[in-house]
Amino acid sequence: MRVYIGTQGFPVSSRSHGLEAGLKRLSELGLNALELDFANSIYLNMEESRYLGRLAEELGIRLSIHAPYYINLCSEDTDVIRRSRRRILECVVRGEAMHADIVAVHSAFYGKRSREEAYAMVRAGYESIVDEMRSIGIRNVRLGAETMARKNQFGTLDEVLRLYKDLNGWVRPYVDFAHIFARNNGRIDYAHIIDRLLDAGLEYINAHFTGLARKGYRYVDVHRPIGEPQFEPLALEIVRRRLGITIICESPLLELDCLRMRNILEFMSMELGT
């Protein structure tokens, strides 16, 4: 079982600002993953990316990146698609420099297109990025098509698994369990999701986890401390199956909820003798 748990963005309890302080605080807490939060801007240059990668390797911290939110590979504006591809590639190049394993992407909105038309456009967008990745010698980073919460967003589990198959593993499912929970109206079957991933041939899972807010009878994509969806059933599946997985916490409590998840996993491992 290879489990990495960490924060999206640097821990709030870091004693000072900066790359080194953030990574060292993660290490002090016994956490071993960090997702660089480029959601609003790609704030690291290449030199900083390489430095971060060296330091993370020394501390045994696994790195990933979250691409900007303002990406839409299915836009009716071709310039938006062009800029989206460029931003994803900028993240990939930095990811390769820092030895990250994946770049999480909010792929698209369906807009006025049918699901099949949207899939064709998203696939074409990713194919173009993968072609460029190959041409510039990217070897280690993969694209992570994230499962999305809203029904107007591209990113069902079926869609991201289809991309994984059609693009020969260059685009991997990035499983946001809270998003799946919200999209399914407050229901989630962790065993079924993991079965689907393993059946598709994934040997390692990249995931987000957070609690969600409730609006009336619906869960909405507003992050809350871990509670709903519950983490314990997922932890049980991870321990029973001895999964290889990175879990990035997006809860507003960040490292506190990371530590809670880690403690739950450790307790279940002891209880099950794994």
- Between CA 44 and CA 52 the distance in angstroms is 9
- The model's pTM is 0.96
Domains contained in the chain, number: 1
User: What's the confidence (pLDDT) of residue 14?
Assistant: 87
Q: Is the pLDDT of residue 1 over 80?
A: no
Interval 179-222: pLDDT, tens: 999 999 999 999 999 999 999 999 999 999 999 999 988 999 99
**How would you class 6 by CB atoms within 10 Å of its CB: exposed for 0-12, middle for 13-18, buried for 19 or more?**
buried
Q: Is the pLDDT of residue 274 over 80?
A: no
Given pLDDT bands bounded at 50, 70 and 90, which one contains residue 272?
Answer: confident
- Between CA 146 and CA 104 the distance in angstroms is 6
Q: What range does the domain containing 156 cover?
A: 2-272
Interval 98-106 mean pLDDT: 98
The CATH number given to whatever domain includes residue 191 is 3.20.20.150
246 within 8 A of 229, measured Cβ to Cβ: no
Interval 83-105 mean pLDDT: 98
Q: Long-range CB contacts (< 8 A, 24+ apart) of 54-59? A: 55/19, 55/20, 55/23, 56/23, 56/98, 56/99, 57/99, 59/23, 59/24, 59/26, 59/27
Question: Prior bond to 229 cis, omega within 30?
Answer: yes
- Between CA 81 and CA 5 the distance in angstroms is 33
Specify the residue for token string 């790195």: 63
Q: Is the pLDDT of residue 273 over 80?
A: no
User: What's the confidence (pLDDT) of residue 15?
Assistant: 79
Share of the chain above pLDDT 70, in %: 99
Q: How are beta strands 102-105 and 108-109 bridged, if at all?
A: unpaired
